Amino acid sequence: MTYNEAFMQRAIELSGTALGIAGTEPFGAVVVRDGRIVGEGLNHSLAHFDPTSHGEVEAIRDACRKLSTVDLSGAEMYTSCEPCPMCVATMEVAGISALYYAASMSQTGEAFEGLTKTHRHPIDVDRLRSQAGALVGDRLIPSQQHLDRQASDILVAWATARKSNG
C-alpha cells in the first residue's frame, strides 16, 4: 500500500465543503480500492441527527453500497483528520487495510477549542477510547443483562441455518 496525495487532497476537499453546507462538520474521507475512490463521506451528524455520521463511517457506507459488500479488505482510508475510536472500530469491522490522515486529534482539539456542546465538540477522545475497549462491566454506562437465553437461542438458530446451507 502506497500513499497517494491525490486521494488525501480529495478527502481534504470534501472536508472543505462543510464551510458552506449547514449541518456538516469539516471531516471528509475517501475509501480507495485498487487505485480508485470507491466511497466518499462527509460528517453529517448535525444535519441527519446521527452521531455516527462521521466522514469515515459515511465513506465506508458509500463504498459498501457501491461495491455491494461489507468486506472492504484491501481498501485504504484517506481522511482529513485522525479518526476517532468509533471510526477506527468501523474501519476494523469493514476490513480497511491502511489509514492515511491529515490533521491529528490534537490539531482538531486546538481548532475546536471553545466550541459549545451544541456542536458535540470537543469530544472527550480519551474517555471514548477507554470506554470503547472496556469490558461491559467496567464501562461507565451502567449495564444489565436480561433474557440472554432467548436471544442466544435465536443466534444459534440463525448460525445453524447458515452452516447447513454451506
Mean model confidence pLDDT for the chain: 92
Which of the residues are catalytic?
A: 56
Q: Is 63 exposed, middle or buried (0-12, 13-18, 19+ CB in 10 A)?
A: buried
Distance CA 51, CA 44 (A): 8
Cell 459549545 belongs to residue = 116
* Inter-residue contact 82 to 108 (CB < 8 Å): yes
The arithmetic mean of pLDDT across residues 35-45, rounded, is 97
Q: How many CB atoms lie within 10 A of CB 58?
A: 26
State the cell numbers at 52. 455516527
pLDDT at position 23 over 80: yes
Cell 470506554 belongs to residue = 131
The model carries a pTM of 0.88
